[in-house]
């Protein structure tokens, strides 16, 4: 995975997410000069996805056919975390096996910003959806002070992209858009 630059070398607080492809899209996390990670679907049915960064690759799978929870696996197929959307709430809980817990949420009702927050570190990242942004659908704002504190920052950034895309797919499905 030497094609990606390490998050330790990140010098800017704002990253762009660039969409590549149309029928089988994949998304690149970049600062305009260097690539820091990649999000892609593992299969055509989008039941699992692959998150790749400089030193790690993670696989996100559904816990079961009717489950809303997602499992995070490393390349050795070891479960390292769980993502659970709260019932009747826009919050999405992230629980890692190393004890790290965070919440992905929208802080305001009519906003395009999705925030990753933690009780210890506060607001760690913001994911802003761009209006009519087909090629560049998101901007990710990272708190550079968190680079030394949080070891899985690339995973958290790519996971946020994955969760926003899942929310958009569910909203389109419930509205009857896209067949």
- E strand or H helix at 165, and its extent? helix 153-175
Give tens-digit pLDDT for 29-82.
Answer: 999 999 999 999 988 777 899 999 998 999 999 998 888 899 999 999 999 999
CA gap 34, 24 in Å, rounded: 23
Q: Tell me: pLDDT of 178 over 70.
A: no
Q: Tell me: pLDDT of 167 over 90.
A: no
DSSP 3-state assignment of 158? Answer: helix
- Domain spans in the chain, listed from the N-terminal domain onward: 7-172
Q: Tell me: pLDDT of 100 over 90.
A: yes
**What pLDDT shows up at residue 149?**
84
CA gap 38, 19 in Å, rounded: 10
Q: Which of 43-47, 77-81, 109-113, 143-147 has the highest mean pLDDT?
A: 77-81
Q: Tell me: pLDDT of 26 over 70.
A: yes
Query: Residue 144's pLDDT band (boundaries 50, 70, 90)?
Result: confident
Q: What is the chain's mean pLDDT, rounded?
A: 89
Q: Are 36 and 29 in contact (CB under 8 A)?
A: yes
Of the candidates 129, 117, 120, 61, the one whose C-alpha atom is nearest the C-alpha of residue 91 is 117
Of the candidates 120, 134, 161, 129, the one whose C-alpha atom is nearest the C-alpha of residue 36 is 161
Question: Which pTM was predicted?
Answer: 0.89
């Amino acid at each position: 995975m030497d094609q990606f630059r390490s998050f330790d070398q990140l010098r800017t607080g704002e990253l762009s997410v660039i969409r590549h492809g149309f029928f089988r899209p994949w998304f690149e996390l970049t600062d305009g000069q260097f690539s820091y990670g990649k999000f892609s679907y593992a299969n055509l049915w989008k039941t699992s996805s692959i998150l790749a960064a400089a030193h790690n690759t993670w696989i996100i799978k559904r816990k079961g056919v009717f489950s809303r929870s997602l499992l995070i696996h490393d390349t050795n197929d070891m479960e390292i975390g769980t993502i659970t959307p709260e019932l009747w709430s826009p919050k999405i809980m992230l629980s890692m096996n190393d004890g790290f817990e965070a919440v992905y949420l929208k802080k305001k009702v009519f906003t395009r910003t999705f925030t990753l927050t933690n009780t210890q570190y506060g607001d760690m990242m913001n994911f802003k959806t761009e209006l009519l942004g087909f090629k560049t659908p998101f901007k990710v704002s990272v708190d550079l002070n968190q680079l030394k504190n949080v070891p899985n920052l690339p995973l958290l950034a790519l996971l946020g992209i994955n969760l926003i895309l899942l929310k958009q797919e569910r909203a389109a499905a419930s509205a009857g858009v896209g067949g």
